[in-house]
Structure 1
Amino acid sequence: MAESTPTAGAWQRQRPSPAALGRDAAVAAVLVVATVGSAFVYASITSFTPPAWWVSALWAVVIAAPLAFRRRLPAVVALVVAAAFVAGQLLFVPEVLFSNICLFVALYSLGAWGVNRTVAKLVRLAIIVGMFLWLFSTLVVNASSPGLGELGAGHGALDPYIALASIQVLQNLLYFAAAYYFGNSAWSSARARELLEERTRELQAERERSQRQAVVLERIRIARELHDVVAHHVSVMGVQAGAARRVLAKVDSDSDGELLDKAVTAVAAIEENARVAVNDLHHLLGALRQSAPPLTLDDASSLGVPQLEALIDETRLLGTEVDFWVVGTPGALSPATSLNVYRIAQEALTNARKHAGPAARVDARLRYLDGAVEIEVSDNGRGGGSRPGANPDVEPGGLGQLGMRERVDAAGGVLEAGPRARGGYVVRARFPVTPARVPQ
């Protein structure tokens, strides 16, 4: 009888390993030897004539050896062992200890390893029902046996034969119920264990994915910080270097030293911006080399809203007219929100200085709203079209607006950036602000 295949989508227990199959073979060999030895011991105490020794030995092999395949062909093994058990009784083989163990193991294995659960259930029920029918028929036949009087009168209230029959029925009920129950329990336990292991693997995979995503997000954030630092300071350095070059070209014809002073001022500004950019880069890259603790926004920069005035003044020194307004009642901001506001203003001012034109005027407004803070930087420059670096979808090399949008999205804010209807360009970013808790 071949094992039936399971239904589609049903859970299947993992097949036994070679080591487990080797243990099954060893257990089967031990049971063969033990059954043979038990048969010869029982032959010394039985009252009836046992069969020839080779019959008992062959029967021991038939009932115990198939258990070597109890996990690979559990239904076949159960049927063979059950048939051998009945044959041993019919042949009057004097052995009742290890034969019962072999039958129990076979029924248990069918419940624990049967691939097709319907087949496993039906085969076990058929064997159990068959065994009970055989038991009841034997009890009926023995009830009319002349040797029944050998049981004695007994001292209890029940008839001796009825008491003996009741005990045998109860023993068989417990025997077969235990084999059936523990087999099913082993199957359920294996299923629960494999499902737990699968969920553990899924959680481990999810954790690894989350760790990889966290690394990617951290790299994007650091790249954004590096872009903000480099784009601003290098832009300022470029403007100052151009001013210094134009001034130094006229130094020879200058008599009062005014142009020389301007050139010195421009070169000093270049030096200061270069120093700041290098320090910021060293700080970020140094944090990257540290294994712990992880880099945070506070570690990346100490800039924020309080430094907006200095940023505006710096832009004015570069020749761009900037009006700065604070609207509403200033409130406490988290370091991350404060830094985000500063970086958005920094990027917007840098783009305005680079692309709005020399005669453009910039209007910067910091608004404290109900549950939010908003930074707006607009200009009346050329605007109208896409600016280099303002739309990475149009200009793949531009990262300014992409960095702003990533920063705003990460904070749960809203970013508006684009040309104004009356000319120029506007950048408006709104960040949510959690109200500060008042101590009770």
Structure 2
Amino acid sequence: LQMTRDKDYPLMILAHTVMGKGVPFMENQAKYHGAALNEAQLEEALLYLEQPNRLENYKKMRAEFKPVKQTPTKDKYALQCNLKSGNPMLYEKPTDNRSAWGNAIADLAEINKNNSTPIVVTDCDLQSSVKTAAFEKVTPDRFFQGGIMEHNTAVLSGALSTCGIQSFWSDFGVFGLDEVYNQQRLNDINHTNLKVVLTHTGLDVGEDGKTHQCIDYIGIVRNWYGFHLIIPADPNQTDRLIRWLIDKPGNYVVTMGRSAVPIILKDDGTPFYDLNYAFDYGKCDILRKGDKATVMVTGTPIGNAIKAVDTLKEEGINLQLIYVSCPLAINRDTLIQAVNTGLIFSIEDHNIHSGLGSIIADRLAEENLSARLIKIGVKNYGSSGTSNDLYKAVGLDAESIKERIKQELINKD
């Protein structure tokens, strides 16, 4: 180890280890991996290791132990920085959210080059897909390629974020959540400040098929007490939230699909998330006003939901459309607005049992609010195909959404 300190290049140490080394009766005995020693064996083992036997002290501590109510641990690793968010970019043509993420983080790297808080991005050999190339071009010494080793990269990125570094890890949804569930759980336990930006979530992953469709991204993040989740609607909101995120402490997951998505427009045809829009964590956006029912949607299906709602408006059916970018933080006021219409539809390309619809149901019960809830989402693993074909297969295309809403409105009346 001393030799490695004197080298200016990476070194690998390969060690042949012996399980239980130093205690003859334990060496290479797998049973001791999970079996406790009895008191006689403990005494013998400690003699071999030349260590004192403190068992009686520990017995006394156990006897005197009294459980106390758990309180949130103060985060001693909380990031403190003054990174600049720069000027927002305005997208006016359909673009994939992942490109907006890549452009934003590259711009942030440029304007914060001399800031005392470094911005670091890690990747797992998916640079062209997760759009991190522009960042590397700006600050190549702060871009780290982890190879196809997601578990290692999750730990590395989390550790970096506890060292006064604003750390972003970008990967596919299924690799950055499902594949490394326990590593991210440990990042949560350790109060890291990691920003995980995941593309290819939901059904929108191209033709990779069910093994690569991360249809449980909301449900997974719900399990971690300290993680926040953001799902941008379009490239403009993606740009704003990445800029908002640049100086924030704590753990965040930002998810998006693979395909180009339409720019969300107001009724007057101008971008909803314009240059005056400021991202506010937990705030839902009312994209369309109506009183017949409320449609609450998150993720890539927003484009199809808008088409369905606008088509129904032409037929004289006015629906309230709410975009939920932060499904883990839906506030009471938004729920009341939805409940006032008497019927709520949740729309998501996510497992129907653990996503937006389930959160809305929980929140309605917690707030003692009542309305009928129709959950539209993914009821089984998908197949291989284009996003449009997969959405049609599960009823998430614009026409299917429109017809489902019309049918439920008939049932309501």
**What is the TM-score of this pair, normalised by structure 2?**
0.22
- Pick the structure with more helix per residue: 1
Larger radius of gyration: 1
- Pick the structure with more strand per residue: 2
Relative contact order: is structure 1 or structure 2 higher (C-alpha 8 Å, sep ≥ 6)? 2
